[in-house]
Structure 1
């Protein structure tokens, strides 16, 4: 079994895929919720280290500045990606309020050009976030089930 990090821009579908994997019985952690991020927007490294030490089979979702410090602890880094227009349409209609203001939408556009290329370089797998949720979850599930 493997640990997988699911990363990507706001609106790409990380939480939706994570919810489907949880429904299928996988241990999942969405670091956008539950105090995983510190006030500066980075992961609580001590807490994340403890989580990864305790679980060999796990899917973690998040996109933060210091996630690269944990890449060696994951067997797969999965980048979900989608065109900017798709991201902006999705953030306008989701329950998470981030992405609704013009400033936040401009920030997402800026991150697509500055952050996403960095995520792509660190990714072991890239999946098109426009695919059906079940297909994306199937792909991540197959990575989790790999024998390491």
Structure 2
């Protein structure tokens, strides 16, 4: 069975989908919660720590740093999953380097109002917990549906209840 990349901007529900996939017995990873993503200085390539406080995550910080998931970590997960259906949920700036490691790419899509409402439930120092970060996320989100579709990702409406989202995700993977 394939390894599936479940992606989308912050606030579309990737972590919630990952929890539901696990509840249903699937192998599912989250690039943030399972520490698959790392941050690097764009100029030096040195790994840097992600700022815990929102006040430290300025526009300048994001301009200077890049979030990446190593293709090697995805290959390790693929080997672990073997013949089973497995999922990696997340987003990263080097997605283009990772897509070839996945049999299926699914883009979770939600409207800006839904994303804003979901982000409003986050603590202030969680990513998306400040108005500045919400605006940054909505800026990234603005062209995401068209971009993901242009690259062949299968779109799933993430505004539905999580059970329906996962059912549609499994249908997109022909796993139901």
| TM-score bracket for the superposition, by shorter chain length | 0.7 to 0.9
CA deviations on 1:119-146 (whole Å, 9 max, x unpaired) are 3322431011111211111122331627
| Counterpart position of 1:97 | 126
| Alpha-carbon distance between aligned partners in 1 of 2:7 and 2:101, rounded to the nearest angstrom | 15
Runs of 4+ in 1 over 4 A off after TM superposition: none
For residues 52-97 of structure 1, give each alpha carbon's deviation from its aligned partner in whole angstroms, at most 9, with x where no partner exists. 2332421110111112212122221111111111101101114682
The 8 Å contact of residues 74 and 101 in structure 2, kept in 1 or not, is answered as no
| Other-structure match for 2:97 | 69
Matched position secondary structure for 2:142: helix
Q: How does 1:16-55 map to 2 (within 5 A)?
A: 16-40=16-40, 41-55=67-81
**Displacement of 1:109 after TM fit?**
1.5
Between 120-129 and 5-14, report the one with greater CA deviation.
120-129
Higher RCO structure, 1 or 2 (CA under 8 Å, sep 6+): 1
- Give the Å deviation of 1:112: 1.1
Gaps of 5+ in 2: 41-66
Matched, 1:84 2:112: yes
1:113 aligns with 2:142: yes
The answer (yes or no) to whether the contact 1:76–1:123 under 8 Å persists in 2 is no
Q: Secondary structure at the match of 2:39?
A: coil
Q: Structure 1 residues 124, 71: CA separation in 2 closer, same or farther (over 3 Å shift)?
A: same
Quote the offset at 1:107 in angstroms: 0.5
Larger CA Rg, structure 1 vs 2 = 2
By how many angstroms is 1:50 displaced?
1.8
CA distance in 2, matches of 1:114, 1:107: 13
3-state SS of the aligned residue for 1:111? helix
RMSD over equivalenced CA pairs, Å = 2.0
Measured in 2, the distance between the counterparts of 1:25 and 1:79 equals 21
TM-score by structure 1 length?
A: 0.87
SS at match of 1:60: strand
